[in-house]
Amino acid sequence: MEAFLRQYTRSVIAVVLAALFVVPADLVAQSHVVTPADLQKEVVAASQARQRNLEAVQQFLSTPAAEKAMKSAQVDPKEVRTAVSTLNDQELARLAARADKAQADFAAGRIEERDLILIILAVVALVLIIVAVS
């Protein structure tokens, strides 16, 4: 009976060890918290948000008031538009929010054209400073 018990124990240990070596460790470790599909969705969402922010700032800087302000300050509009595209995502998001707010305030009559021109010049200066520092 003791021999049978030893043989049985050896067999169980052999099966357990075989199972450990047969199942690849990579298979066990592949239980990710974030799936590749979720990562892909996040990358696409971030890219789309950046594109929206870039378009918002570009549109703001393409307004007649912005063109006039940049010409009066002797700033090349193409240089500013190029500089805007080099901003990081956070800077671009903040700038887009400010541009949207300024346009909404101007459209609602809460600010005058003179104030809008000052805001535009501040945005242009901010863009050029951020690019110069980066």
Q: What is the mean pLDDT of each run of 10 residues along the chain (134 residues)?
A: 74 73 60 78 92 92 87 87 88 90 85 83 84 78
**Amino acid 48: pLDDT:** 95
pTM value?
A: 0.66
In a domain, 57, yes or no: yes
In a domain, 31, yes or no: no
> Is residue 125 within 8 Å of 77, Cβ to Cβ?
no
Q: Which domain holds residue 120?
A: 36-133
**Amino acid 1: pLDDT:** 67
Task: Give me the number of domains the chain comprises.
Answer: 1
**Amino acid 28: pLDDT:** 53
Sequence-distant (≥ 6) Cβ neighbours of residue 107 within 8 angstroms: none
